[in-house]
Amino acid sequence: MAFAVLGQVKQALSNLKSKEVRERAERPVCIGLVAASAESMGRMETYFAPPHLSPNRRAEVVRSLIRGSHSNCDIEIYESNLLRPRHAFSFDPDSPDDCIRRIIRAREDLALPLARQFFPFRKPVSHHMIRSVAKENALFCLATALPDVVPGLASLGWAVGEFSSDAAFLTMNQIRMAFYLAGASDRRPGYREQRSEIASIVTGAFGWRALARELIGKVPFGGGLIPKAGIAYAGTFVVGKSLERLYRLGYGFTREERKAVYEEAYEHGRQIAGMLLENMRPRRAAS
């Protein structure tokens, strides 16, 4: 089983191109800032280019912040007490993170380069990626058990038929997530650059299932749709959160932390799996 999964992972790696992620992350992005006063403008600039950045890095970020409304800016942000165009976003200095979340939801196409260039985007974009990939992996486990809903997986970018086991798909999707998290953290995505992280993901594809068996007792990995999908969600979530901390702080989770995060994520994953399954049932009945 292990050799078969590793063989599939190796074959699929040829279609997973870190260069494309790197190019997407390095796409230049500029933000137009509109404020009522010089003081307010200074607060907005300080938020998007915080003082803890190195002088060179901060100067680079400031060059991507354009004062005033400009049609060539990718995003325009107005101070909250000003009237703004429909396409622009509102910035409240008392709750600036709300602006970040709204931008991520509305402009997911720019999430990766925004996270690389502008520090306030980094953590929320990374968390959004982790939750999205964890949900994809939970959905995959449900869909492989319910063949008539497999067409709904087209948005994942992977052909379900290419993977004879859940472990191979989950592993590949986690490696894809690792590329995106590196890009969002202003690190260079790549097989050579992330060889230790990729090796850990491939090894963990089997190790976290042992932890799952310990957690859910008598329910085996292949038994029960919701437990199986919950395990897929939790395993992916732990990998992503540990990588996010590694890129942010320089170290990942300890064994004890991984187990604690896994247990919490497993319960959340079960809830998500239940909702996904409910959404699938009407479609199955109509087919």
Cα separation, 136 vs 180, whole angstroms:
15
- What is the per-residue pLDDT for 172? 85
- Whether residue 34 is predicted with pLDDT greater than 90 in this model: the reply is yes
Cα separation, 112 vs 185, whole angstroms:
9
Task: Give the C-alpha distances (Å, rounded to integers) separating 38 from 45, 104, 182.
Answer: 10, 27, 35
- What is the per-residue pLDDT for 208? 55
What percentage of residues in the chain have a pLDDT greater than 90?
Answer: 59
- What is the per-residue pLDDT for 205? 64
Query: Which residue blocks in the chain are alpha helix, DSSP H?
Result: 2-13, 18-25, 38-48, 55-63, 96-106, 111-117, 119-145, 166-184, 195-216, 225-249, 255-286
Cα dihedral 109, 154, 201, 126, rounded to 10, equals 20
Q: Which is more confident, 95 or 211?
A: 95
Cα separation, 276 vs 149, whole angstroms:
11
Pick left, alpha or beta for residue 95 (phi over 0 → left; psi -120 to 50 → alpha; otherwise beta): beta
Task: Spell out the long-range contacts of 38-47 with Cβ–Cβ below 8 A and sequence spacing 24 or more.
Answer: 40/79, 40/93, 41/67, 43/93, 44/77, 44/79, 44/91, 44/93, 47/93, 47/96, 47/120
Provide the residue type at 287 as one letter. S
Strand order through the sheet with 65-67: 65-67, 31-34, 75-79, 89-91
- What is the per-residue pLDDT for 150? 43
Helix (H) or strand (E) holding 33: strand 31-34
Cα separation, 84 vs 89, whole angstroms:
8
What is the band of 155 on the pLDDT scale with cuts at 50, 70, 90? Answer: very low
Domain boundaries, the chain: 2-24+120-286, 30-111
Provide the residue type at 179 as one letter. F
| Half-sphere exposure in the Cβ direction for 144 (13 Å, CA) | 24
Lowest mean pLDDT of 5-19, 86-100, 144-158, 225-239, name the range.
144-158
What is the band of 284 on the pLDDT scale with cuts at 50, 70, 90? Answer: very low
Query: What are the pLDDT digits (tens) for 167-207?
Result: 777 888 899 999 999 999 999 999 999 999 998 888 776 56
- Whether residue 213 is predicted with pLDDT greater than 80 in this model: the reply is no
pTM reported for the whole predicted model = 0.83
Average pLDDT of the segment spanning 52-66:
95
Query: What are the pLDDT digits (tens) for 122-136?
Result: 999 999 999 999 998
Query: What are the pLDDT digits (tens) for 221-273?
Result: 444 678 888 888 999 999 999 999 999 999 999 989 988 998 899 999 999 98
| Contact present, 262 and 235 (Cβ < 8 Å) | yes
- Please give the DSSP secondary-structure letter assigned to residue 281: H
Q: Which is more confident, 220 or 56?
A: 56
- What is the per-residue pLDDT for 227? 82
Average pLDDT of the segment spanning 207-227:
55
243, with CB counted inside 10 A (0-12, 13-18, 19+), is buried
